[in-house]
Structure 1
Amino acid sequence: MARVVSLFLPTWSTDRFRRRAGDAAPPAETPFVLVGREGNRRAVVALDAAAYAAGLRIGMAATKAQVLVKDLILYDANPAEDAEALERLAVWALRFSPIVAPDPPNGLVIEATGADHLHGGEATMLYCLVGRLAMSGVAARAAVADTWGAAHALARYVARASTVASPGHGPTVLADLPLESLRIQGPTAAALRTLGFDRVGDLLAQPRAPLTLRFGPELGRRIDQALGDLAEPIEPVRPPDLIEVSRAFAEPIGAAETIARYIEKLVVQLCERLEERGLGARRLDLICRRVDNDMQAVQVGMAMPVRDVKRLTRLLCDKIETIAPGFGIEMMTLAATVAEPFGHKQAVSSLIEETVADVSDLVDTLMNRVGERAIYRFAPVASDVPERSVCRVPAMSADTGAGWPGHWPRPSRLLPRPEPVETVALLPDHPPVSFTWRGIRRRVRRADGPERVFGEWWTRDAELVAVRDYFRIEDDAGERYWLYRAGDGEDSSTGSHRWFVHGVFG
């Protein structure tokens, strides 16, 4: 089933203006609008959140806006630059899916079928998409649904940062939305309201013929597109420097074996192009255009730059079952949407140096099956606070040479968060005599400590005097635990003096 993401940028023009202006941009709390010429008058064509909260609206005369809002900041709009920037944003979004297109004037449409698993699922993909734009100073809302029309409506008329409609949702997700969510013209929506139609659900219950007779075919076309009864192809954006190869077929193909054979031929051609530029592929997009103008896309990622024909062919062929050829595929296009310099490795004799096993092929296979975010390794961080001394990094990232402190042993298993325990212990420096954890009382046979860990005062003021005293504990059954007391055992300002289990030794 097709899944489409609609990305809505409600303040795209003003956000882009602020990013370009840098420190000279108007403050975020100051109402700010962009104006353009509509006929013989100057009107508001874009506004920021502060101007919208002040009661200004798009289409309002610039002179009226200045009267309504004191000290309003106005600049001339530049729709051509906004469109060019939206095109560049669509190229950036190719990292999420191979089929991305601008949805003017303030949005993108993304074909997410078969690509969401690389980003941890649809909800995580929307979270990353909206979050990355927010960190860049661009407000965004996103929705995923079965059709472009439904996703477009949910992104713009549901007041949430991200909305995920369940697959096969049907018309129910649109029923309570306003008429404008169908992408119909303002006069048409106004005329429908005059007849008593307020919501999309009111239209869906009506016979189509009278509506078409009165309002023309556009209304019915938009309803059919939103419901998925009428196809709405997405023409993907292609950057000029993209490395890609394509193959058109005189007769449409559909058998899995035939698709696999031509995938290998395209990979060979693409690797030749990559070799000419000294690059390796980090992400490949295979787009299959069917005879009905529908496009099926496959996206695979690699942990490191790869130019190996067999590996790339196998990764792509593993996804053939996700391609629905329909009545046949008339064109296949393979593109390296992410390519990086390819480093050559010098062959070293085993008499001089032991060869290191290359697990990148295994990592690539797992990554494309369970998602890129699910494959990682732990790396040390320069921090004495245990829960801050580790982070997740990509599985094949370079080793920085950093290590964990070696003067005190660390447990093989660190709990996600410290768990409180009941203890019997003498203050201030003695280990527990016994402790109760998860309903089981354990007597302590041996203990070593304390290891004092101080708070990181530069992180927050509350840690200025905070300390923890860690002990390595062994119970009667031979199990070893990592316990700590919050505080130094004397001064209550250093901690609560409660005990916690923070890890288990293997």
Structure 2
Amino acid sequence: MARVVSVFLPTLPTDRIRRADPSLSVETPLVIVARSGSKRWIAAADQPAIKLGLRVGMPAAKAQALVHGLMMIDADPAADLATLERLALWVLSQYSPVVALDSPDGIVMDTEGADHLQGGEELMLSGLVNRFRGRGLSARAAIADTWGAAHALARSTGRETVIAPRGATAKAVNRLPLSSLRLPAEIVASLSTLGFATVGDLAATPRAPLTLRFGPEVGRRLDQMFGRLAEPIDPIRPADIVEVQKSFAEPIGAPETIEKYINRLVRQLCQALEKRGLGVRRVDLIVQRVDNTLQSLRAGTAKPVRDIAWLTKLFRDRIERIEPGFGIEKLSLAAVIAEPLVKVQSASSLIEEQVTDVTPLIDVLGNRGGQRIFRVAPVASDVPERSVQRIAPTADEIGTTWPLHWPRPARLLAHPELIEVIALLPDHPPVSFTWRSKRRRVKRADGPERIFGEWWQRSSEWIAVRDYFVIEDDTGESFWIFRSGDGVDEDTGSHKWFLHGVFA
């Protein structure tokens, strides 16, 4: 079953203006003014303007009279559409093979087969909204079984993210207002006059009288929302994308036939990439069935590749996810992210150092859940939790190394955990400690190693210190613990003890 995400950008026009002019104060109310002849009205308003009582549709002259210092910008629908297209292409490269515009203020995408790469639906939606916010854009996102339901939920609720469970579309949308059905305003007004208030009210009404009075549009929108009528998403594509396609006179459906044609498409794609000197980093397979529905598979690689056998394997391992239904009439393969591929000449020496290439393993694991693959690299910092960073598994060496004059644990906890300790202050190691409700007796200890706070990071670390000890308990396990403070002056720390790491 397809899962559709609708992204709603409620203040896209004003966000576009603010992104173009970073010097504009966030407290300055901003509105976008549209005009038709001599009539001028507010087409969009940002949050400061809305808080002052301005609303979309309000006459521009009235808004200017109500708010002193109001910034008014003429509407530019072409610029808004261009911004929306750029955002859709970014979403295409990051989240899903099937992405389209939901003009004038949204993006829609089919994430079936791709959400696992983002850690699941909840993490995908929250991450998507946060990344839009990081780009200076307000966004709300909803996921449901149909485009109509996701569109309605994203625009009719005040929450940033909404997830409608699979198969629960009716329950999710029944109480939504009629305006969420994407019907013309005059039809919504007429239905409201007749006493209809929600989608559920309209869905429970016999269809024939509605069709007779309002035409087929009401029934079509209801059927699309509840999944009774397909609403295919026509994917957006960059102008310079490398893409190959195969249409079938007779629909195909057997797994071995699908695999055969995928192999041919991969071969054609690699030939096209070779002409441009490119290798693929992310490739999408779009499956179009005879019922006009789309399925998609996405494969990523850790570095640019043009290996026919390897790319074919990445898709062959997941062919069972393709549901041909009554048959497949078209296959498309697109290199969504392609980068220059430089062939490296092998060394001519008779004695060559054997280097194990782990990128195939990274590719296999990454396509099962791309958020889990990373490499740990050092950072120039004495504070342990700041001395590591996550980088791409195939990233180049950053030139920084960890200091080796003090031992460091194999496992560093994400956050130091409070422990109960019996110790003689200020410089003696613990005699025993209790961690996670288990009391441990200390057999050996080494320390203290004093680490000072980084005052340039936070003023509270001006005189803060930690005293670290490497200790071994009576079972032979080794731990890395520290006392917050120097054991004498309370200004240097709380003098509480924490466990920060475990040695192998």
1:424-454 deviation digits (Å, cap 9, x = unpaired): 2121111112222233332222211100011
Question: In the alignment, what sits opposite 2:13?
Answer: 13
1:31-67 deviation digits (Å, cap 9, x = unpaired): 2111121354112112212222222222222112112
Question: In the alignment, what sits opposite 2:107?
Answer: 108
- Superposed displacement of residue 402, structure 1: 2.1
Matched, 1:69 2:67: yes
Amino acid at match of 1:297: S
Match of 2:447 among 446, 449, 456: 449
Alignment of 1:350-389 (within 5 A): 351-369=350-368, 371-389=369-387
Question: In the alignment, what sits opposite 1:192?
Answer: 191
- Superposed displacement of residue 15, structure 1: 0.8
Alignment of 1:77-96 (within 5 A): 77-95=75-93, 96=95
Secondary structure of the residue aligned to 1:410 is coil
1:250-292 deviation digits (Å, cap 9, x = unpaired): 2111111111101111111111111111111010011122222
Matched, 1:60 2:58: yes
Amino acid at match of 1:355: Q
Question: In the alignment, what sits opposite 1:276?
Answer: 275
- Superposed displacement of residue 475, structure 1: 2.1
Alignment of 1:62-461 (within 5 A): 62-95=60-93, 96-348=95-347, 351-369=350-368, 371-461=369-459
- Superposed displacement of residue 209, structure 1: 1.7
Kindly tell me: are residues 50 and 379 of structure 1, through their superposed partners in 2, closer, same or farther at Cα, counting changes over 3 Å? same
1:55-89 deviation digits (Å, cap 9, x = unpaired): 22222221121122222111111111211221222
Match of 2:503 among 490, 502, 505: 505
- Superposed displacement of residue 350, structure 1: 6.7
1:355-381 deviation digits (Å, cap 9, x = unpaired): 211111111111112x11012222222
Amino acid at match of 2:11: T
CA distance in structure 2 between the partners assigned to 1:71 and 1:474 by the alignment: 68
- Superposed displacement of residue 349, structure 1: 5.1
CA distance in structure 2 between the partners assigned to 1:75 and 1:437 by the alignment: 61
Q: Residues 144 and 169 of structure 2 are in contact (CA less than 8 Å); yes or no, is this contact kept in structure 1?
A: no
Kindly tell me: are residues 505 and 140 of structure 1, through their superposed partners in 2, closer, same or farther at Cα, counting changes over 3 Å? same
Provide TM-score, normalisation by structure 2.
0.97
1:277-320 deviation digits (Å, cap 9, x = unpaired): 11110100111222222111111111111110000011112222
CA distance in structure 2 between the partners assigned to 1:92 and 1:478 by the alignment: 52
Secondary structure of the residue aligned to 2:129 is helix
CA distance in structure 2 between the partners assigned to 1:54 and 1:102 by the alignment: 31
1:453-474 deviation digits (Å, cap 9, x = unpaired): 1111112111111110001112
Secondary structure of the residue aligned to 2:408 is coil
Q: Which moved more, 1:351-360 or 1:484-493?
A: 351-360
Provide TM-score, normalisation by structure 1.
0.96
- Superposed displacement of residue 477, structure 1: 2.3
Secondary structure of the residue aligned to 1:196 is coil
- Superposed displacement of residue 170, structure 1: 2.7
CA distance in structure 2 between the partners assigned to 1:130 and 1:470 by the alignment: 40
1:93-136 deviation digits (Å, cap 9, x = unpaired): 11211111111111111111111111211222222221221111
Secondary structure of the residue aligned to 1:14 is helix
1:163-186 deviation digits (Å, cap 9, x = unpaired): 121111130000121111111122
Unaligned runs of 5+ in 1: none
CA distance in structure 1 between the partners assigned to 2:319 and 2:477 by the alignment: 49
Unaligned runs of 5+ in 2: none
CA distance in structure 1 between the partners assigned to 2:472 and 2:297 by the alignment: 53
Amino acid at match of 1:175: N
Secondary structure of the residue aligned to 2:22 is helix
Secondary structure of the residue aligned to 2:162 is strand
CA distance in structure 2 between the partners assigned to 1:273 and 1:417 by the alignment: 49
- Superposed displacement of residue 223, structure 1: 0.8
Alignment length, in residue pairs? 503
CA distance in structure 1 between the partners assigned to 2:436 and 2:170 by the alignment: 49
Secondary structure of the residue aligned to 2:143 is strand
Amino acid at match of 2:81: A
Amino acid at match of 2:273: L
Q: Residues 453 and 462 of structure 2 are in contact (CA less than 8 Å); yes or no, is this contact kept in structure 1?
A: yes
CA distance in structure 1 between the partners assigned to 2:330 and 2:122 by the alignment: 31
Q: Residues 479 and 499 of structure 2 are in contact (CA less than 8 Å); yes or no, is this contact kept in structure 1?
A: yes
Q: Which moved more, 1:233-242 or 1:53-62?
A: 53-62
Secondary structure of the residue aligned to 2:21 is helix
CA distance in structure 1 between the partners assigned to 2:477 and 2:30 by the alignment: 64
Secondary structure of the residue aligned to 2:196 is coil
Amino acid at match of 1:13: P
Q: Which moved more, 1:318-327 or 1:359-368?
A: 318-327
Question: In the alignment, what sits opposite 1:476?
Answer: 474
CA distance in structure 2 between the partners assigned to 1:83 and 1:421 by the alignment: 56
Q: Residues 149 and 169 of structure 2 are in contact (CA less than 8 Å); yes or no, is this contact kept in structure 1?
A: no
CA distance in structure 2 between the partners assigned to 1:71 and 1:174 by the alignment: 41
Q: What is the RMSD computed on CA atoms of the aligned residues? A: 1.5
Q: Residues 480 and 501 of structure 2 are in contact (CA less than 8 Å); yes or no, is this contact kept in structure 1?
A: yes
CA distance in structure 1 between the partners assigned to 2:54 and 2:440 by the alignment: 67
Secondary structure of the residue aligned to 2:183 is coil
- Superposed displacement of residue 148, structure 1: 0.3
Kindly tell me: are residues 184 and 314 of structure 1, through their superposed partners in 2, closer, same or farther at Cα, counting changes over 3 Å? same
- Superposed displacement of residue 327, structure 1: 1.8
- Superposed displacement of residue 348, structure 1: 2.4
